[in-house]
């Protein structure tokens, strides 16, 4: 057999593999879906829509935002998890759906460790402890003193039982050695309304919810439950500065794909997402509603999810938190 004939046969043998690669459609090959697991109009919707637009621009396909709310974000994440191998479906995952509800729901509709693929941690949202000025409390020290003087009497509202704001209150109670009365609401807005009316003494909510009322002087900010001060409220101390470094309860939102989506497709989404997140336009838009851009790797996000699950699972167990 001549060298030429041998080379020709080798080339023919390689054709099926080349054909298989050639037959794979480019990604993305059609409009994409971006699931926001909360109602339209809130900060999470702002985060999702800005990211979706940036991904659309960079990948050259429309990205349609769908709000699929319910079960503290679990409903929307489940929609993404059930998309099989189709990376044209992506979405946001919150702390509740990614690290908390698995310790509270009798049966999760998806396995956070298997049925979703982490892409990047999009944004952190700092939380803040605030009081109604009518309480006469002017700083964190005064809050602790009042709580210890009247065990179980100081009320603190959250956005709902089992959510990250509720667990932050339980964490504060444990670390500060105080007994305050948790008052759960169906969302941050009604909790804030009752705080403004003086029905409750305090709330621990995402900073974006309380910001306007703090700036207007209606509410007093006592502490940020984060490692760093909030850029929007630089004069408010952190729990770490106040001697409670374990009271760290940043809310967060992550970008995810279906767990079975091809790695190559997820990589394209990751590159487009991080480029969007690092853009000045998106960084500024997130900052305006209290969001701090992250944009880490899938591996870093996977490790973060494990840490968050272990952290909040322990809080839930020690505080004996049960869903209503």
Q: What is the DSSP string of 10-55?
A: HHHHHHHHHHHHHHSPPSS-S-EEEEESS-TTSHHHHHHHHHHHHH
The DSSP bridge partners found for residue 3 are: none
- pLDDT at residue 10 in the model: 47
Cα torsion at 76, 82, 88, 91 (round to 10°)? 20
pLDDT in tens, the chain (324 residues): 444 444 444 444 444 544 444 455 689 999 999 999 998 988 899 999 999 999 999 999 999 999 999 888 999 999 999 999 999 999 999 999 999 999 999 999 999 889 999 999 999 999 999 999 999 999 999 999 999 999 999 999 999 999 999 999 999 999 999 999 999 998 899 999 999 999 999 999 999 999 999 999 999 999 999 989 999 999 999 999 999 999 999 999 999 999 999 999 999 999 999 999 999 999 999 999 999 999 999 999 999 999 999 999 999 999 999 987
Count of C-beta atoms within a 10 Å radius of residue 234: 8
- Distances in Å between the Cα of 30 and the Cα atoms of 60, 188, 261, 272, 313 are 10, 37, 15, 16, 39
What are the residues whose beta carbons fall under 8 Å from the beta carbon of 58, sequence distance 6 or more?
A: 271, 272, 275, 276
- pLDDT at residue 41 in the model: 86
Residue length, the chain? Answer: 324
pTM: 0.89
Q: How many Å apart are CA 229 and CA 234, to the nearest integer?
A: 6
- pLDDT at residue 324 in the model: 72
- pLDDT at residue 18 in the model: 45
- pLDDT at residue 140 in the model: 97
Q: How many Å apart are CA 257 and CA 89, to the nearest integer?
A: 7
What domains can you pick out in the chain, each with its CATH number?
Answer: 32-124+250-319 (3.40.190.150), 127-224 (3.40.190.10)
Q: How many Å apart are CA 167 and CA 173, to the nearest integer?
A: 10
């Amino acid at each position: 057999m001549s060298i030429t004939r041998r080379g020709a046969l080798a080339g023919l043998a390689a054709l099926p593999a080349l054909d298989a690669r050639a037959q794979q459609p480019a990604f993305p090959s059609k409009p994409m879906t971006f699931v926001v697991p909360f109602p339209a109009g809130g900060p999470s919707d702002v985060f999702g829509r800005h990211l979706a637009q940036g991904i659309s621009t960079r990948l050259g396909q429309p990205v349609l935002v769908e709000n699929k709310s319910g079960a503290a974000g679990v409903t929307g994440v489940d929609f993404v998890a059930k998309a099989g191998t189709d990376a044209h479906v992506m979405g946001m995952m919150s702390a509740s759906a990614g690290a908390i509800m698995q310790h509270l729901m009798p049966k999760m509709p998806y396995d956070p460790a298997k049925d979703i693929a982490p892409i990047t941690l999009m944004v952190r949202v700092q939380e803040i402890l605030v009081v109604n000025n009518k309480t006469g409390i002017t700083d964190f020290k005064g809050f602790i003193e009042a709580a210890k003087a009247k065990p179980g009497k100081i009320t603190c509202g959250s956005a709902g039982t089992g959510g990250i704001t509720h667990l932050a209150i339980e964490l504060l109670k444990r670390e500060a050695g105080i007994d305050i009365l948790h008052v759960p609401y169906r969302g941050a807005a009604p909790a804030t309304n009752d705080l403004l009316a003086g029905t409750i003494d305090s709330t621990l909510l995402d900073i974006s919810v309380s910001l306007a009322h703090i700036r207007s002087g209606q509410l007093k900010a006592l502490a940020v439950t984060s490692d760093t001060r909030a850029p929007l409220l630089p004069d408010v101390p952190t729990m770490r500065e106040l001697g409670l470094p374990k009271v760290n309860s940043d809310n967060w939102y992550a970008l995810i794909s279906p767990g079975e989506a091809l790695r190559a497709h997820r990589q394209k989404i990751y590159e487009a997402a991080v480029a969007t997140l690092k853009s000045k336009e998106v960084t500024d838009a997130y900052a305006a509603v209290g969001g701090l851009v992250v944009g880490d790797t899938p591996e870093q996000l996977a490790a973060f999810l494990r840490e968050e699950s272990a952290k909040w699972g322990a809080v839930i167990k020690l505080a004996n938190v049960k869903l209503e």
